[in-house]
């Protein structure tokens, strides 16, 4: 049975201990490393081939971890906030939409639906 590799990065000691205790009771989960906030997260994730990264939100936004998620599309990122009362889970999820009997307007609407960040800027100068 493959084990899920969990990396804890910059978690407060109490939360780190709670997660470690939970992981110790779950045979499918293996804590591969515990690192501080100063660690190079991308390098540590790569070195340990982490499946899940659990870190704390310190003035971070979802885009702060975009490069990490794009470099490891199957990674799940748990960002703990509000003293451990809230946890955000970020991951890349493939999406597929069926367009049936497509009209030109529906086709254009689907093409222009590029997500919450909007379209990438275009350099008209060439």
Mind spelling out the 3-state secondary structure of the chain? CCCEEEEEECCCHHHHHHHHHHHHHCCCEEEEEEECCCCCHHHHHHHHCCCEEEEECCCCCHHHHHHHHHHCCCCEEEEEEHHHCEEEEECCCCCCCCCCCCCHHHHHHHHHCCCCCCCCCCCCCC
CA distance 38 to 73: 23
Tokens 């490393």: give the residue.
33
Share of the chain above pLDDT 70, in %: 86
Q: Is the pLDDT of residue 76 over 60?
A: yes
**pLDDT tens readout for residues 10-36:** 998 988 999 999 999 999 999 999 999
Q: What is the pLDDT of residue 30?
A: 94
Q: Is the pLDDT of residue 116 over 60?
A: no
Decide which of 60 and 19 is more confident: 19
Q: Where do the domains of the chain lie?
A: 4-90
- For domain 4-90, is the CATH number 1.10.540.10? no
Start-to-end Cα distance in the chain: 53
Contact present, 22 and 54 (Cβ < 8 Å): no
**pLDDT tens readout for residues 41-55:** 999 999 999 999 999
The top-scoring range by mean pLDDT among 44-53, 84-93, 117-126 is 44-53
Confidence of residue 114 (pLDDT cuts 50, 70, 90): low
């Amino acid at each position: 049975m493959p084990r899920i590799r969990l990396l804890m990065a910059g978690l407060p000691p109490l939360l780190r201990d709670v997660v470690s205790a939970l992981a110790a009771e779950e045979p499918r989960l293996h804590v591969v490393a515990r690192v501080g906030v100063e660690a190079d997260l991308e390098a540590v994730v790569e070195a340990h081939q982490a499946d899940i990264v659990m870190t704390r939100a310190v003035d971070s936004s979802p885009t702060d971890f975009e490069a990490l998620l794009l470099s490891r599309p199957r990674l799940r990122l748990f960002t703990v906030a509000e003293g451990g009362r809230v946890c955000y889970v970020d991951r890349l999820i493939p999406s597929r939409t069926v367009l049936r009997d497509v009209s030109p307007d529906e086709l254009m609407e689907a093409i222009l639906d590029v997500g919450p960040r909007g379209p990438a800027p275009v350099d008209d100068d060439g």
